[in-house]
Amino acid sequence: MNDTLAFDMTPKLTGKISADRIRVLRTPRPPDGLIEKLKRIPDATSVIADVMDELGITGAIGTSTLKPTLPNASIVGPALTVRNVVQREHVYEAARRSVNRMAEFEAHNLALPGDVVVIDGVAGVSNMGGISAQTGKRQGEAGAIVSGGIRDVGHSRRADYPLWATEITPVTGKWRIETVEINGDIQIAGIRVSPGDIVVADETGVCFIPIARAEEVAERALAKANFELEKCLAIDAGAAVADLPSKE
């Protein structure tokens, strides 16, 4: 008898977003070994940003824009995308009637272990709070990237759920935001992100690698990281500046 627990992986919608607004039911999975390869790169976003420049790929954003909530956090995983817009109903009327159209919980519902929730969100209000972050941690997500506000930072830190966001605010998005699409193409700081694109985030920044180029980027980034390690070892050994390795 197989002792492995069986789970019903069929998404169960809460009713806050219709099924036709979920463009991809399952986030595309990365090739075997790709995530592990990228995790081996120290100072990953800096190295990957250089490689993406060399390959003509736009996709790097600094932490001056997307600020991390956990020091020394680093994550790698496929993007599970969410798009939020401002709710049309007046905020106080929506609050009075408890009209909550936020649906990032549907993204948690779809998430597979290692996914990174990426939210094209609304500025000035929270697109993800502490309970949402705790749920994401429970689902095995690597973390989340939010263009827009987040709140309950202490809660998400206690849950050890890494977040990168453009804003932190106590103002709830419950009565102000409507989630209009999950797993469609989104824009983060002018960069297009598609479901399954590889997200690499650390204390220096965030890189979005198009899945079609991810293997190429990973190979080049590993080679560059190994070259930089060689250079650092030469520095530690006392090599003269003129004698340091200068070509990869």
Residues 6+ apart with CB under 8 A from 234: 243, 244, 245
pLDDT, residue 4, reads 35
Quick one: CATH architecture of 21-243?
3-Layer(bba) Sandwich (3.50)
50-78: pLDDT as tens digits: 999 999 999 999 999 999 999 999 999 99
Q: Which of 121, 141, 106 is nearest to 12 (CA)?
A: 106
Provide the pairing of β-strand 75-86 with 116-120.
parallel
- Rounded distance between C-alpha atoms, residue 173 and residue 185, angstroms: 22
Q: Which of 49, 67, 46, 47 is nearest to 58 (CA)?
A: 49
Q: In 3-state terms, what secondary structure has residue 67?
A: strand
In order, the DSSP letters of 202-231 are -SSEEEEE-GGGHHHHHHHHHHHHHHHHHH
In order, the DSSP letters of 149-207 are EE--HHHHHHTT--EEEEEE-S--STTTEEEEEESS-EEETTEEE-TTPEEEE-SSEEE
pLDDT, residue 226, reads 80
pLDDT, residue 112, reads 96
Q: Could you give the residue ranges of the DSSP H alpha helices within 57-160?
A: 91-96, 104-110, 130-138, 153-158
CB atoms within 10 A of CB 198: 25
Q: Residue holding tokens 């996914």? A: 115
In contact, 61 and 191? CB cutoff 8 Å:
yes
pTM tops 0.85: yes
- Rounded distance between C-alpha atoms, residue 245 and residue 234, angstroms: 8
153-169: pLDDT as tens digits: 999 999 999 999 999 99
DSSP state of 22: B
> Each residue's pLDDT tens digit in the chain (248 positions)?
333 333 344 456 666 777 778 887 888 899 999 999 999 999 999 999 999 999 999 999 999 999 999 999 999 999 999 999 999 888 888 888 888 889 999 999 999 999 999 999 999 999 999 999 999 999 999 999 999 999 999 999 999 999 999 999 999 999 999 999 999 999 999 999 999 999 999 999 999 999 999 999 999 999 998 876 666 666 777 766 666 666 66
